Amino acid sequence: MAPPPRLRILSVGGNAISAFLSWRLQATTSCDVTLVWKSGFDAVSQYGVSFKSKAFGNERFKPRHVVRAPEEASSRENAYDYVILCVKALPDVYDLASVIESVVTPQHTCILVNTTNTLGIEAHLEQRYPTNVILSLVSNVEISQTGPSEFEHLSSSEIYVGATNKSSSIPTSIQNDMAAALAMTLNSGQVDCKVSENIRQEQFERMIGPIAFNPASVIFESPNHTQLLEKTGARQLVTGIIDELVELATSLGCSFPNDFREKTIEKMTALEAPTTMYQDFQARRPMEVETFLGSPVKLAIESNVRVPRVETMYALMHHANTVNQNKPRQESPPASVMGAQPPPRMSSAPSQRPMMNGGPPGPPSMRGGRTPSGMSMGPPRRGPPPV
């Protein structure tokens, strides 16, 4: 009897979670994994990716194929069963759906998008690929990047997958079957992968704290969250945003314990290193304004939930993002910036995540006539992200 066909999987993103998933999927021996890895391509192509892990051992693994861009993988035989998208979502900078256009086969390829540190990224993909199953992934895996292609798996292998939105063109049973098949495959690679019946629960649990704190730290120019709360009006602003997001999430079927706000503040103030958003602010890079704030604003309008503080923060951050990128660069950073050492890259930690980790398009009816810029995407301004 012939063995079952191997799953053909493409993992897009030169970062910790993309590398981890590729590693564990290849370990199942039932998958042919192609990894898109641009920075340091030659080394990864020749020597592979190195992992240290108490749970899985130390190993340097080589995917079946390594390519610089998805387009290079599109000419290979047969269609991909799964495309795993682990890139940073900046819908006001580039069109995320276009990144994988060459490797998605209609009515066949399942797109798994990493939403560990973002909200609202799925809707645009669903609009662009209406005949493909779109699944969301939320990772609690802790990984430290110790070199260009060297990683240390620190703790947990817990991952959630599920469909954020029900599709009118794809039966729910097919969405569930694709999620279950992927979870089973990852489980065989010793990953604790669970199918979530409401993946928004895991998304909001991870994102409410960062949405409340990270933009505020930029507006107040205070990377330390404990010091941020000492600023005039900051504590009331942050707690108000948390409450608004909890109300929004509750309207979408999520539930939270009574002490969620206090636990969230406790968790976020325990972080000492500057967040990725603050590092982007310092470096004059585009910040994830749309996926942190634009998407919740759109969800709130669709759900008829008032989020005035989130809307105000979105307006402030949208302006700050534009002005910051157009500022002339200083000869040397201020002393306070020089004193802040960049933290090691960590996967899944809300304060510091891989660069490759978008709000949905389509201009909805907005209060006051204002539309989050990520909701109505024009042509990409800077091309696709480095992967």
Please give the C-alpha separations between residue 4 and each of 29, 81, 182, 187, 235, in angstroms, as whole numbers: 12, 14, 15, 18, 57
Contacts 24+ apart (CB under 8 A), 256-260: 256/205, 260/208
The pLDDT value given to residue 2: 61
The residues, ordered by sequence, that sit 6+ positions from 143 with a Cβ below 8 Å of its Cβ are 16, 17, 20, 151, 152, 153, 154, 346, 347, 348
What pLDDT, on a 0 to 100 scale, did the predictor assign at position 168?
79
pTM listed for this prediction:
0.84
| Look-up of token digits 């809300």 | 350
Residue-by-residue pLDDT tens, the chain, 387 positions: 566 789 999 999 999 999 999 999 999 999 999 999 998 899 999 999 999 999 999 999 999 999 999 999 986 567 999 999 999 999 989 999 999 999 999 999 999 999 999 999 999 999 999 999 999 999 999 999 999 999 999 999 999 999 998 887 899 999 999 999 999 999 999 999 999 999 999 999 999 999 999 999 999 999 999 999 999 999 999 999 999 999 999 999 999 999 999 999 999 999 989 999 999 999 999 999 999 999 999 999 999 999 999 999 999 999 999 999 998 876 555 544 434 444 554 555 444 444 444 333 344 443 444 444 444 444 445 555 656
Rg (C-alpha) for the chain, rounded Å, is: 20
Q: Contact, 211 vs 296, CB < 8 A? A: yes
d(CA 223, CA 343) in angstroms, rounded, equals: 13
**Two tokens, residue 312:** 């105000």
Q: Give the per-residue pLDDT at 363.
A: 40
Q: What is the DSSP string of 133-197?
A: -EEEEEE--EEEEEETTEEEEEE--EEEEE-SS--SSS-HHHHHHHHHHHHHHHHHTT-EEEE-S
Report yes or no: 162 and 195 within 8 Å, Cβ to Cβ: yes
Q: Which uninterrupted H or E stretch holds 207?
A: helix 199-219
**Cα 271 versus chain centre, distance:** 19
CA–chain centroid gap for 40, Å, is 22
Question: What span, in angstroms and rounded, lies between the C-alpha atoms of 10 and 233?
Answer: 47
CA–CA dist 182, 165 (Å, integer): 18
Q: CA nearest 302: which of 378, 363, 237?
A: 363
Cα 137-175-89 angle, rounded to 5 deg: 35
Q: Exposed, middle or buried, 376 (CB in 10 Å: 0-12/13-18/19+)?
A: middle
SS3 60: strand
Q: Is the distance from CB of 157 to CB of 190 less than 8 angstroms?
A: yes
From residue 338, alpha-carbon distances to 283, 287, 333 in Å are 12, 20, 6
Please state the φ and ψ torsions of residue 45, each to the nearest 5 degrees: -65, -40
Helix (H) or strand (E) holding 50: strand 49-53
